[in-house]
Structure 1
């Protein structure tokens, strides 16, 4: 089992506050003999479903020495998980959850915005202090 990201619990709490039910911690992605672990699986209770969505959330703190290296790794991991989920759980939408600090410091830069727009990376921006979701970026 992989180590939890330092903002894992804040993201989990933010999802719960936003009305999501955490169904998996971690979310196991199994394709044939390969097993990978995304951070969280979440669903909306039927009464308040968000367009019937079920989520898989990969949590990333972007606290490494190189934010661009962290970003490249996150994009690669996102692609791998997305491709596998298309095969084994096509009803789930994959998001990358980041802190508002990482968003404001790195994700608003021109080069990052260009890559995000071309890659169409779904992001959840979380205030890790208040443990609240600030923004859903599809």
Structure 2
């Protein structure tokens, strides 16, 4: 398992504040001879439909000198996890990349990045790390 992201606690607290239950930290995602560990598994009862929504969260900080390298790593990890979820027919069928609001408002607004996000169908959850609050769900 890799080290926890610097925003791990803030993201976790944001989901808890929003009524989500943390069911795994990290979440063991297994298929055949691969075992990987996305950061969180969360669940919430959706009252309108009376169904349990189950989501895997991968947290990325984007703090290195090269945001493009951070994005390359995040994109590759996201796609790998999404593929493993599908192959394993895992109970958690959704995955979101959790990012800081400031990174979303700057780096993720670049035309090229927006197009890559759309092309690869990345689902994002934008978090205000200081207030530990969810700002926006994007899918």
- The verdict on a shared fold, with TM-score over 0.5 as the criterion, is yes
CA distance in structure 2 between the aligned counterparts of 1:49 and 1:43, rounded to whole angstroms: 14
Greater Cα shift, 50-59 or 65-74: 50-59
Look up the match of 2:35: 35
CA distance in structure 1 between the aligned counterparts of 2:51 and 2:112, rounded to whole angstroms: 32
CA distance in structure 2 between the aligned counterparts of 1:97 and 1:75, rounded to whole angstroms: 12
Unpaired runs of 5+ residues, structure 2, are none
TM-score (structure 2 length as normaliser): 0.92
Asked whether the 8 Å contact 2:22–2:41 carries over to 1, the reply is yes
1:63 partner SS: coil
Look up the match of 1:25: 25
CA distance in structure 2 between the aligned counterparts of 1:98 and 1:50, rounded to whole angstroms: 28
Look up the match of 2:3: 3
CA distance in structure 2 between the aligned counterparts of 1:125 and 1:45, rounded to whole angstroms: 21
Look up the match of 1:59: 59
Deviation of residue 33 (structure 1)?
Answer: 2.3
Matched, 1:102 2:103: yes
The runs of at least 4 consecutive aligned structure 1 residues that moved more than 2 Å come to 45-52
CA distance in structure 1 between the aligned counterparts of 2:92 and 2:10, rounded to whole angstroms: 25
Deviation of residue 101 (structure 1)?
Answer: 1.4
TM-score (structure 1 length as normaliser): 0.93
CA distance in structure 2 between the aligned counterparts of 1:51 and 1:108, rounded to whole angstroms: 33
Look up the match of 1:14: 14
Asked whether the 8 Å contact 1:21–1:45 carries over to 2, the reply is no
CA distance in structure 1 between the aligned counterparts of 2:50 and 2:43, rounded to whole angstroms: 9
Unpaired runs of 5+ residues, structure 1, are none
Indicate how the Cα distance of structure 1 residues 46 and 122 shifts in structure 2: closer, same or farther if over 3 A, else same. closer
